[in-house]
Structure 1
Amino acid sequence: MIKCLIVDDEPLARQVLETYIQQTADLVLIKSCPNALEAFEAVTNYPVDLIFLDIQLPLLTGVDFIRQLRQPPAVIFTTAYPDYAVESYELEAVDYVLKPITYHRFGQSIDRFLKRTAAVMPPVPHTYFKVDGQLVKLLHADIMYAQSIKDYILLKTPHRSYIIHMTMKSLSELLPNQHFRRVHRSFLVNLRHITAVGRQDIQIGETTIPIGDSYRTMLNDFPVR
């Protein structure tokens, strides 16, 4: 879990970020602070991975607050003013986000944080999908197959199914081709989950998936039962 700290003197701004964190998988809110003094206490007493930090704070600016920390966590600056962008990059901030912050923009900042941390952590291939208004992290290895249902996609994993609003073409381009193949206009499968291949269909667990005539060459590497 990514342990988050919010520092903002505006109650509404804190509430928005608190809601976004609650809606996003793998994020947990450690504390929400109205000033740098409380934030310093939180960083001292709790493990924090990521700070959402306003710049215009009472007593001490967000920029000065970060400069006073010996080993500051990753920081995403949140502000209504574009004037401090240069300083934020000098401090190697993950992102500089102008208010009001939408959930989409929030998700982009989280993606930037994850890409940065991936440089020091063993990479686990995954993609974030928007499910029922939340960003859900799915490991590529867990996705068994995808089925197109009108304007939506059903993603099947060993534990549950997810419905996302996306085209099959977009999903095919998003997932790595070495593991995922289109076998039918309505089905994309994870090759690692295939248990049997026939002339007309394939088997993934207890699910039988048809093979479209124009997609048969996608499975040439698999023996036919």
Structure 2
Amino acid sequence: MPLSPLTCVVVDDNEINRLTLEHLIALTPDLELAASLSGGVEALNYFRQGGQADILFLDIEMPLLSGLDLPRLLPTPAPAIIMVTTHRDFAVDAFALQALDYLVKPVTLERFGQALARVREQRLAAQPQPTHSIPATPAPEPDTNLFVKVGTRMLRINFSEVLYIEALSTYSVLVTKAQKHIVYLTLKALQERLPFAHFVRVHRSYIVNTALIEAVQDNMLKLGSHEIPVGKSYQEEFFRNLRGL
């Protein structure tokens, strides 16, 4: 059964930016514009007075009530929030507010469509799933072991225990809680050979095991007793996918 159209509210104190988003919404068949508002206060009043929306396209830098403050005041259930701003530096704050995506102006139709795809995926996942009388066969546990060349021997490494991988000149260092292994591959070559999707490049010198990230603060990832920086060129993509880790 097809899902009903998604209703949208645009909030931006710049009229040109509002018109741009309105145009992108009009070009997308399954979107409907519910309201286009010029500030955070107007948006708060809209929702407190019973206004509804599936998606809130929200500018960050606005007078009186910013896009970072508004989400904390919205009544529940709140819409899916997509931040729209001219600055990349707000990414960490945006995703701390559970924003579903983060668009940097000027917004292209392609990037706009990618953000909507995330909303649709979340909406589809929230739909009740049919029950089955015959229980499904559980999927086999994935093999997390891999042989890599360490020194003069091939060593079997359990990558579920690897916290992160660090570049060391033309070599790489696999770091676990207990020990380190020097591998005779560059970080780029090792990244291309890793079959595990949860190992993600977050810096020109680091690949991290996202399954073992304990906390994120100020663009730093805490893995056990280690702290790994997220490089500036990697921040937007990493934090956009943070909720799916």
TM range (shorter): 0.5 to 0.7
Is the Cα contact below 8 Å between 2:47 and 2:75 reproduced in 1? no
Separation of aligned partners in 1, 2:33 and 2:57: 11
- For each residue in 1:14-39, what CA deviation from the matched residue of structure 2 results, as whole angstroms up to 9, or x when unmatched? 00100111111111001100101111
Tell me the equivalent position of 1:9.
13
* Structure 2: distance between partners of 1:41 and 1:22: 24
CA distance in 2 between counterparts of 1:85 and 1:119 reads 24
Partner secondary structure for residue 25 of structure 1: coil
Could you tell me how far apart the structure 2 residues matched to 1:122 and 1:12 are? Answer: 40
Quote the Cα distance in structure 2 between the aligned partners of 1:81 and 1:101.
Answer: 12
Match of 2:212 in 1: none
State the aligned residue count.
123
3-state SS of 1:119 partner? helix
> Which portions of structure 1, spanning 4 or more consecutive aligned residues, are displaced by more than 4 angstroms?
none
Match of 1:91 in 2: 97
* Residues in 1 aligned to 2:53 and 2:12: alpha-carbon distance in whole angstroms: 16
Amino acid at match of 1:64: D
Tell me how far 1:70 sits from its aligned partner: 3.4
Instruction: Choose which of 18, 34, 39 in structure 1 pairs with 2:38.
Output: 34
Segments of structure 2 that go 5 or more residues without pairing to the other structure are 130-245
Distance in 1, Cα, partners of 2:109 & 2:75: 31
The Cα shift of 1:73 comes to 1.2
Higher mean displacement: 113-122 or 54-63: 113-122
- Give the drift of 1:113: 0.6
Using the alignment, how far apart are the partners of 2:45 and 2:29 within structure 1?
Answer: 26
State the Cα RMSD in Å: 1.2
Partner of residue 76, structure 1: 82
* CA positional deviation for 1:116: 1.1
Alpha-carbon displacement from aligned partner over 1:137-184 (angstroms, at most 9, x marks no partner): xxxxxxxxxxxxxxxxxxxxxxxxxxxxxxxxxxxxxxxxxxxxxxxx
> 1:87: how far off?
1.2
Identity of paired residues, percent? Answer: 39
Alignment of 1:136-215 (within 5 A): none
Report SS of the residue matched to 1:32: strand
Matched ranges for 1:41-56 at <5 A: 41-44=45-48, 45-56=50-61
Query: Could you say if the C-alpha distance between residues 70 and 46 of structure 1 is closer, same or farther in structure 2, counting changes exceeding 3 Å?
Result: closer
Other structure's SS at 2:126 match: coil
| Correspondence 1:20 to 2:36 | no
Residue 120 of structure 2 aligns with an amino acid whose one-letter code is: L
Distance in structure 1 (CA, Å) of the matches to 2:32 and 2:105: 22
Distance 1:55 1:115 in 2: 24
Unaligned 5+ residue runs, structure 1? 124-225
CA displacement at 1:122 relative to structure 2: 4.8
1:116 maps to which residue? Answer: 122
